């Protein structure tokens, strides 16, 4: 090992030591029999999950709401992302490009959950806040990628169309869109997949969907219902994973 490695290891070790020291946690406390008994009681209180028909109907609604939040949020983001990608790809000059990129970076840098907390203030508790939150963040992510795709698209088709008297807007639709549309669709669907997962948890700050149900049931000490929500989240994630893997195989295979 080079001395550099030892220096890095020493730095990491002291960072870890400093972290634990700074938090000054009494983790030993968690290992006492008393604490463990409490913990065990807490864990046990989650079982059995509440599988009553009435609650399952609510879970079903929450799941649908989660999917709706993600779908609408992603659809809005695809539209806004496209609109912002046009200036961000430099079509309207360098100033517009810089401004659009700044906006996209800003939207993207703020995590969905922070957006959700802000949107709960602006639009009130409920799924609408979650939808807007996902839309903002995803607009930043999608817009940046769309802009790059547009910049990399070949220029010849558009130039040729403009040379035959085409308006710039129509030249874009006929010359650039066919090149970039498949990528737009594929990436938007991929983001939707990510957003379903995200929509399931955004509710913990009050932005609707399964997350909000989880937050409520935990706040009301209904652990068994909370367990049902967690199970529903797991099932949703597994289903989305399976569906997307299947779709991917179907698309690349066919």
Is 189 among the residues that bind other proteins (CB under 8 A)? no
Of the candidate residues 39, 56, 186, 243, the single one contacting other proteins (CB under 8 A):
39
Of the candidate residues 201, 213, 232, 240, the single one contacting other proteins (CB under 8 A):
201
Concatenate the DSSP letters of all residues of 82-151 into one string: HHHHHHHTTTT-HHHHHHHHHHHHHHHHS-HHHHHHHHHHHH-SSHHHHHHHHHHHHHHHHHHHHHHHHH
Is 245 among the residues that bind other proteins (CB under 8 A)? no
What is the DSSP secondary structure assignment for residue 207, as one 8-state letter?
-
Name the packing angle between helices 223-253 and 177-202 (round to 10°). 160
Is 215 among the residues that bind other proteins (CB under 8 A)? yes
Query: Which residue, 88 or 213, is less far from other proteins as judged by CB?
Result: 213
Give just the sign of the alpha carbon dihedral 44, 45, 47, 48.
positive
Is 34 among the residues that bind other proteins (CB under 8 A)? no
Is 205 among the residues that bind other proteins (CB under 8 A)? yes
Is 250 among the residues that bind other proteins (CB under 8 A)? no
- CA–CA gap between residue 33 and residue 210 (Å, rounded): 34
Query: Which residue, 143 or 211, is less far from other proteins as judged by CB?
Result: 211
Is 33 among the residues that bind other proteins (CB under 8 A)? no
Contact 107, 146 (CB under 8 A): no
What is the DSSP secondary structure assignment for residue 49, as one 8-state letter?
-
Total residues in contact with other proteins, by rule CB under 8 A: 78
Is 161 among the residues that bind other proteins (CB under 8 A)? yes
Print the binding letters for residues 88-127 with other proteins: x by CB under 8 A, - otherwise.
---------------------xxx-xx--xx--xxxx-xx
Q: How far is the CB of 50 from other proteins (least distance, A)?
A: 16
Is 71 among the residues that bind other proteins (CB under 8 A)? yes
Is 68 among the residues that bind other proteins (CB under 8 A)? yes
Of the candidate residues 42, 57, 186, 249, the single one contacting other proteins (CB under 8 A):
42
Of the candidate residues 36, 52, 93, 178, the single one contacting other proteins (CB under 8 A):
178
- CA–CA gap between residue 197 and residue 201 (Å, rounded): 7
- CA–CA gap between residue 31 and residue 40 (Å, rounded): 12
Structure tokens at 146: 């769309």
Is 72 among the residues that bind other proteins (CB under 8 A)? yes
Is 195 among the residues that bind other proteins (CB under 8 A)? no
- CA–CA gap between residue 155 and residue 139 (Å, rounded): 25
Query: Which residue, 16 or 51, is less far from other proteins as judged by CB?
Result: 16
DSSP-derived 3-state class of residue 246 = helix
Is 248 among the residues that bind other proteins (CB under 8 A)? no
């Amino acid at each position: 090992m080079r001395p550099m490695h030892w220096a890095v290891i020493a730095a990491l070790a002291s960072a870890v030591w400093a972290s634990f020291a700074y938090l000054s946690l009494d983790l030993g406390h968690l290992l006492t029999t008393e604490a463990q008994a409490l913990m065990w009681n807490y864990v046990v209180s989650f079982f059995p999950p509440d599988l009553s028909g009435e609650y399952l109907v609510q879970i079903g609604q929450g799941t649908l709401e989660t999917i709706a939040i993600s779908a609408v949020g992603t659809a809005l983001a695809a539209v806004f992302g496209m609109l912002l990608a046009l200036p961000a790809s430099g079509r309207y000059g360098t100033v517009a490009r810089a401004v659009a990129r700044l906006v996209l970076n800003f939207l993207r840098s703020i995590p969905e959950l922070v957006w959700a907390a802000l949107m709960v203030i602006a639009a009130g508790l409920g799924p609408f806040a979650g939808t807007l939150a996902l839309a903002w963040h995803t607009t930043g992510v999608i817009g940046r990628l769309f802009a790059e795709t547009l910049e990399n698209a070949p220029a010849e088709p558009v130039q040729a169309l403009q040379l035959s008297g085409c308006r710039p807007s129509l030249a874009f639709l006929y010359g650039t869109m066919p090149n970039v549309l498949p990528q737009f669709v594929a990436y938007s669907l991929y983001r939707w997949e990510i957003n379903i997962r995200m929509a399931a948890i955004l509710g913990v700050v009050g932005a609707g969907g399964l997350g909000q149900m989880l937050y409520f049931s935990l706040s009301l000490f209904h652990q068994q219902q909370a367990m049902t929500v967690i199970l529903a989240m797991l099932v949703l994630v597994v289903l989305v994973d399976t569906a997307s893997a299947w779709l991917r195989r179907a698309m690349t295979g066919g």
